[in-house]
Amino acid sequence: MEPIAEIKTRLSIEDLVGQYVQLKKVGRNYRGLCPFHNEKTPSFYVSPDKELAYCFGCRKGGDQFAFIQEVEGLDFREALQFLAEKAHVELPQRTPIQKKQASRRERLLELHDDATSFFEKQLWETKDGAKVLDYLKKRGLTEEIIKKFRLGFAPDERNLLYKYLLKTEYTKSELLEAGVVIAKDTTDQSECFDRFRLRLIFPIMTASGKVCAFGGRAVKEGEQPKYLNSPETPVYHKSELLFGFFQARDAIRHERAVICVEGYMDMLAAFQAGTRQVVATGGTALTEQHLTLLKRFVDTLIFAFDQDNAGRDATRRAIELAIPQDFTLKVARWAEGKDPAELCQKGGGEAFNKIISEALPVMPYLLATSAERHMHDGQIDKKQAVAELIPFILLSPSPIERDEWLKEASSRLGISVNVLYEEIKLGQRQQRSPARRTLAGRGEAGSHEQGRERKITEKQEYLLGLLLTYPSSYGLVYHMKPEDLFDDFELRNIYIHLVNQYNQISEGTDFSLSLEGVEPSMQNRVQLVSLYAESLLKELTEKAAAAEVQEAALSLLRIRFDSRKQQLLSELRQAQGDEQERLLINYQALLQEEQSLTYGQKS
């Protein structure tokens, strides 16, 4: 058997998806909350018969491979390896020639892997490396952790890595693309040198554990910049990756919670101390993409950024991004001056755990910090504190949470809830809150037209799904023009295909649609469309199904006629004389056609 087919038979889609999503059986299918977007009512369906896992809300999903690609953030090749391992299916080894032809992405990842080995060798086997190793151990890291995260050392040499990788048969342009070397002159790339020199190297990995970038910490005191990272490359998008995520993932999934720290060392120290559900932003700001990734795995998000001004600002920005995504948010606080790595080193895992377990829920945290920021001569400046808090409260998607937060703010600041509501109204008039800024950035208003089109496509899919499930009800729509029912080209073709086959069978025989000779993309669409109808239907009697078909078809016809009427009317408004006459006749004909079609089945 082909590896792909074998993997599919060994890993049932419902078991595979069940490891990520809580599924409930509904009829022949399963249903759950979509892992790809944030929702409260489930629109994510898994069909064992069709080997499909699909969300009708955000339209993501597909077979086992598509699902894993999406949920784990892998490309197809990586998903294949991931699933082959899970299913204990051996993949054929690739020949050296195939390896040469491997995609650019894969080449770049291999290059990073080779560079990582180079840095590791420098750390473990050289005299200068030994000093860095010593430093790491003094900071409390064990050899086991250093090896697990593949830390390394970039020596104080102009182009040692460059020469090494050229010999390992990478091209100069690949090295430049990966960002591990820099051309001395951007126009003349003849002279290249290593990006990382005399630095401690933290490999940054993809969700599947492939090194795709490096963070380098200066070894010499006072060297600037203290941290130097790889640039954005085809394999490294810093807004999507979190340091340590690959190693922490099992713990994150298990705990349904994640702790977010700033530095690489903080992450490593916490992980080693036994708090394994931890990731580091690595000095870049937390982004919406980071949060979307984490949302697939956790409900609770705990920020443990540094307790200095920069850390506090980063925390507030992170909170602003995370509230709309509906996390349970907490913020850890401790005495200023120490970072989590130092806490772990001094007090061990217990000290860090204590701080995490005492983390404040988000509203008490915001209340406490706002009060501190706006405290003058022992008095809180309530006006400023309220102005600062309200935008955060408004970001919550949950009315209950908003209400609770307002009550908390009211009791903490000694202002009645009514007055806070007044402030909100005032603020909305003045439109100056970060809440607005964030929400406007989402462009929800602009997508109105798209939403309408999506709805119409969904109606068409529903009708076609019904017809596929109950082909005998086709008789109810046969007098309607296919192009009036389906303006989606693919759906119309499937419909015509269905009708042709249905017309060829003799009465009373059971009918099932044959997809032989139909393009794969259309076959997929057929599967999706029938699953969509199944997701919306309980088992229907033939009669009830007929009524659904009629209703769905008529509603589509009405839309079609409405838009044609609109079109004609706007042309009429511009037209004069004969032209006007002609359009009027057309318009009347259209009205008649509409009537006869709508009531056609009655006459």
Question: Interface residues with Zn ion (CB under 5 A)?
Answer: 34, 36-37, 55, 57-58
DSSP labels, 424-460 = HHHHHHHT--HHHHHHHHTTTGGGHHHHHHHHHHHHH
Select 44 or 327, whichever has its Cβ closest to Zn ion.
44
Which residue number, 37 or 163, has a Cβ lying nearer to Zn ion? 37
- Bridge partners, 584 (sequence order): none
Any idea what DSSP says for residue 243? Answer: B
Nearer to Zn ion, 38 or 189 (CB): 38
CA angle 474, 477, 479 (to 5 degrees): 120
Least distance between Zn ion and beta carbon 295 (Å): 12
Q: Which of 32/179 has CB closer to Zn ion?
A: 32
Whether the Cβ atoms of residue 214 and residue 202 lie closer than 8 Å to each other = yes
In the complex, least distance from residue 21 CB atom to Zn ion, rounded to whole angstroms: 10
Q: In whole angstroms, how close is the CB of 39 to Zn ion at the nearest point?
A: 6
Q: 37-69: string of b/e by CB count within 10 Å (b at 16+)?
A: bbeeebbbbbbeebbbbbbbbeebbbbbbbbbb
Q: How far apart are CA 436 and CA 391, in angstroms?
A: 8
Q: Which pair of tokens denotes residue 508? A: 């009373």
Smallest separation, CB 36 to Zn ion (Å)? 4
Bridge partners, 46 (sequence order): 30, 53
Whichever of 70 and 177 has its CB closer to Zn ion, that residue is 70
Q: Is the dihedral of CA 118, 120, 123, 124 positive or negative?
A: negative
Helix spans in 243-285 (H): 245-255, 264-272
Question: Residue 319: CB partners within 8 Å, gap ≥ 6?
Answer: 303, 329, 331, 362, 366, 392
237 contacts: CB under 8 Å, gap ≥ 6: 289
Of the pair 36, 246, the CB lying nearest Zn ion is at 36
Least distance (Å) from Zn ion to the CB of residue 56? 8
For residues 58 and 522, which CB has a smaller minimum distance to Zn ion in the complex? 58
CB of 240 to Zn ion, least distance (A): 18
Cβ-based nearer residue to Zn ion, 35 or 179: 35
User: Taking the complex as a whole, how short is the minimal distance between the CB of residue 265 and Zn ion, in angstroms?
Assistant: 37
CA distance 22 to 31: 8
Return the number of the residue (233 or 292) whose C-beta is nearest Zn ion: 292
Shortest distance, position 43 Cβ to Zn ion, whole Å: 6
Give the nearest distance from C-beta 321 to Zn ion in angstroms. 20
Compute the residue count for the chain. 603
For the chain, the distance separating the N- and C-terminal CA atoms, rounded to the nearest angstrom, is: 57
